[in-house]
Structure 1
Amino acid sequence: MREFTLDDLKRILRASGGESDVTSLEGDIADIAFGDLGYDSLAVLELAGRVEDEYAVVVPDAAVQELPTPAAVVDFVNARLREAVSR
């Protein structure tokens, strides 16, 4: 099983919208809210779309509202990847 990491999330954020003007993606950003990192809900939706494309993990629009931090996204994606393997 391929694991989704915080580095994967950072790579996707950089590819989809670059680093925000508010803060960089360096360091431990796992528990910092996307809004505090300078990413709005549209950027997080773009992230979800790219995760779906690269990892075949569906991230419903409604779920995006419940994924306020990078750590939450990493946990969500890895849980779905584990579910896919156990089927």
Structure 2
Amino acid sequence: MAESGSFTLDDLREILRTCAGDAESVDLDSDIADVTFEELGYDSLAVLEVAAKLQNHLGVVIPDDATEQLPTPRALTDYVNLRLVA
């Protein structure tokens, strides 16, 4: 995960599956970058769990209130990558 300082959508897919599983109606392997987490079947608690896992594994601080501003996988991966570079 996040090798060479880059966190990818595939890395996030792996974490989504680990934390909250696959929603039956959503194909995480499709183009989900700009689909909201809600549309993907992940509620705010699931997104907080994903953020906690990212913090533990990557050392990227993601405040609870920041997750509300990260509605899509693309927004979250961009956020993480900005902090990995810093």
Interval containing the TM-score (normalised by the shorter chain): over 0.9
Name the counterpart of 2:11: 8
Unaligned runs of 5+ in 1: none
Larger radius of gyration: 1
Unaligned runs of 5+ in 2: none
2:50 is aligned with 1:54: no
Match of residue 69 from structure 1? 72
Structure 1 vs Structure 2 CA RMSD = 0.9
Which one-letter code corresponds to 2:53 in the other structure?
Answer: R
Give the structure 2 partner of residue 23 of structure 1: 26
- The structural deviation recorded for 1:20 is 1.0
Aligned length: 83
Give the structure-2-normalised TM-score: 0.92
User: TM-score normalized by structure 1?
Assistant: 0.91
Q: Among the aligned pairs, what percent are the same residue?
A: 51
User: Is the contact made by 2:5 and 2:85 (CA closer than 8 Å) also made in structure 1?
Assistant: no
Partner of 2:81: 78
What letter matches 1:53 in structure 2? N
Q: Deviations over 1:44-63 (max 9, x none)?
A: 00000000011100100010
User: Where does residue 35 of structure 1 map in the other structure?
Assistant: 38
SS in 1 for 2:61: coil
More helix per residue: 1
